[in-house]
Amino acid sequence: MITAPSDYDVHLFHEGSLHRAHKMFGAHLLKTRKHISTRFTVWAPHAQSVSVVGNFNQWNGNEHRLEKINEEGIWTLTIDQSLEGEIYKYEIITRSGTKLLKADPFAFFSELRPNTASIVYDLKGYKWGDQRYRQRVKRRKPIYERPLSIYELHLNSWKQKEDSSYFTYRELVDELIPYVKERGFTHIELLPLTEHPLDASWGYQGTGYFSPTSRFGTPHDLMYFIDHCHQEDIGVLLDWVPGHFCKDAHGLYMFDGEPAFEYDKTSDRENWEWGTANFNLTKGEVQSFLISNAIYWMEHFRIDGIRVDAVANMLYWANSEPLTENPYAVKFLQKLNTAVFDENPQFLMMAEDSTDWPNVTAPVHEGGLGFNYKWSMGWMNDVLSYMELPPFARRDHHHKMTFSLVYAYSENFILPLSHDEVVHGKRSLLHKMPGEYWEKFAQLRLLLGFMMAHPGKKLLFMGAEFGQFDEWKFVQGLDWFLLDYESHSQMHKYTQNLLEFYHQNKALYELDHDPQGFEWIDADNAEQSIFSFIRRGKRKKDTLMIVCNFTNIEYNDYKVGAPFEGRWEEIFNSNEGSFGGTGTDHLVKIDTQAAPAHRRDHSLSIHIPPLGITVWKPTK
């Protein structure tokens, strides 16, 4: 229910504990049986005066002035008419007498860029159809014991129409959802959907944190899209940027002529690398704004998780030499995660943190930051730098593929092969692979297979699933025409089969965060660049043996120590002919021999394909 700002809510807002500030601030339609009025409330602590202006008053700041209700700078006004659908801004007179026109920080909808006004929008009225999905989520095992495979995508450039225009949220229901479901991903992760002025920022430099971008339709249209994702059992995750924001004139920057949402001190405020301003996390009002924003997306759009961008940028003071920890950011992140999980214990809070900050995924009451997942940036960097080496040189960098197991259980990790690694001259995953054409595809299959076999949940950026050859071109759609070529079509089939295989084998996810779920067979064969290891589920019969060969040399009788005696069946081989490999599609069964190998009493003599991964399972 929308009510006038109460003294208690005002107190909580300034304290940093108003977790639904969007119900107090912004533009709200106040409805009775016979009448509708519109209330505007904004925080502008340094303003001399604030007016709401729009077409409804010919943008005349003298018509509708807001009343300042406290010394901390909350202003409010109720206009005795429905302004639903009207565009508006706040006209702010600063202490120096300068006139500013600002979009509403709490606006629920905004004009399509390049226009920048806010729009009065009623979020009520959408009828959800995802009740069964929500009930299933509540009944399921914890995500730590289930498969989690995330398809990361940028809505602008996943696919475009023939005239290069974007598909709408509603059109994407028919375009995107069947594709994701067929491929076998459990979730999609959308690059930021908060309103932003510049397409080239990919949404990471926002101005409207409560306003889903109008590039693809209305907030109700986005609800429709998420609703239909849920109805097809696909979770929806949003990329979210609570560390810094865009400096465009209509946005949050110097909102009332002086620092309000940002730090006062220039060195703390300015994010020189990105040309943005850092949120002032010492202020209770900013904490209320950001925590409310996270809960707003949960409550009104029913998202299933948030990937928190650039956590490292928050944990350390900007421009500090040497790097100095920001204790206010630590407390904010703990406060944020506590609030989120109080709302929904099944929610996913994922930190994109490139540092070695400890206990990112430890509970707050144990001194951790309180996330339940962290992107394993170290794994990503090590593995990709290894894969970019020519096979003959990999022997000297063997440790890059084993080091991640030293810390694999220090946090709950997601293994990301993300958008950041395939842009700005870094090349696509396929193009990173050295060698001839067939070797590139073989190594991409091997890389994805290794990721699926490694402890941790999985994330893959769009295009890699079919071997996008050019790096990500965010101004145009993916090169879908590549599917007309056999190698790319086979790669497409491979990733679909690989994800299906991942879901079918509990050893690949059930003990992801338990050291009992992984054991090396041979981590030291640098000379041949072969890695062999065991993945375990809760039952012995689910045990898998994985062998990865990162050179283009083929072995016909490679001896590998068996996890235990008996008959083993090859159940996956990335070199199958139907995937574009050089082998057959006939998978074999082999009995162990009483011949010691790798400190084990029994061994298997197996065929190892070049630049390939094979997976074995015990069978009767």
Arithmetic mean of pLDDT, 30-58 = 96
Catalytic residues: 309, 352
Distance CA 577, CA 571 (A): 15
Please report the DSSP string for 163-226 in residue order.
TSPBPPHHHHHHHTHHHHHHHT-SEEEESP-EE-S-GGGTTSS-SEEEEE-GGG--HHHHHHHH
Sign of torsion over alpha carbons 391, 393, 399, 403: negative
The residue count for the chain: 620
pLDDT at 373 > cutoff 90:
yes
Whole-number pLDDT of residue 2: 46
Arithmetic mean of pLDDT, 587-613 = 95
pLDDT tens digit string along 553-577?
A: 999 999 999 999 999 999 999 999 9
Contact 335, 287 (CB under 8 A): yes
Arithmetic mean of pLDDT, 485-492 = 98
pLDDT at 157 > cutoff 50:
yes
Contact 43, 260 (CB under 8 A): yes
Arithmetic mean of pLDDT, 490-501 = 98
Contact 110, 214 (CB under 8 A): yes
pLDDT tens digit string along 439-464?
A: 999 999 999 999 999 999 999 999 99
Whole-number pLDDT of residue 33: 84
Cα distances (angstroms) measured from residue 222 to each of 141, 173, 253, 540: 28, 10, 27, 44
pLDDT tens digit string along 496-543?
A: 999 999 999 999 999 999 999 999 999 999 999 999 999 999 999 999
Beta bridge partners, 152, equal: 189, 461
Arithmetic mean of pLDDT, 585-603 = 93
Contact 206, 246 (CB under 8 A): yes
Contact 485, 467 (CB under 8 A): no
pLDDT at 3 > cutoff 60:
no
Mean pLDDT of the residues in the chain: 97
Distance CA 319, CA 323 (A): 8
Contact 580, 443 (CB under 8 A): no
Q: Is pTM, for the whole model, over 0.85?
A: yes
pLDDT tens digit string along 210-234?
A: 999 999 999 999 999 999 999 999 9
pLDDT at 162 > cutoff 70:
yes
Whole-number pLDDT of residue 585: 79
Percent share of the chain, pLDDT over 90:
97
User: Which residues lie closer than 8 Å to 423 by C-beta, 6 or more apart?
Assistant: 471, 472, 474
Whole-number pLDDT of residue 620: 77
Q: How many CB atoms lie within 10 A of CB 230?
A: 22
Find out whether the peptide bond into 114 is cis, omega within 30 degrees of 0: yes
- Residue 1 pLDDT class (50, 70, 90 cuts): very low
Contact 535, 524 (CB under 8 A): no
Arithmetic mean of pLDDT, 86-99 = 98
Distance CA 405, CA 376 (A): 11
Contact 194, 241 (CB under 8 A): yes
Arithmetic mean of pLDDT, 133-152 = 96
How big is the CA angle at 105 (ends 103 and 107), to the nearest 5 degrees? 80
Whole-number pLDDT of residue 4: 67
Percent share of the chain, pLDDT over 70:
99
Cα distances (angstroms) measured from residue 589 to each of 73, 323, 617: 74, 55, 9
Whole-number pLDDT of residue 161: 96
Burial 50-66 (b: 16+ CB within 10 A, else e): bbbbbebbebebeebeb
Q: How far is CA 190 from the centre of its chain?
A: 7
Domains (ranges, CATH) in the chain? 1-136+160-375 (3.20.20.80), 515-619 (2.60.40.1180)
Among residues 296, 311, 159, the alpha carbon closest in space to that of 222 is found at 296
Contact 487, 537 (CB under 8 A): no
Cα distances (angstroms) measured from residue 315 to each of 66, 154, 204: 37, 26, 18
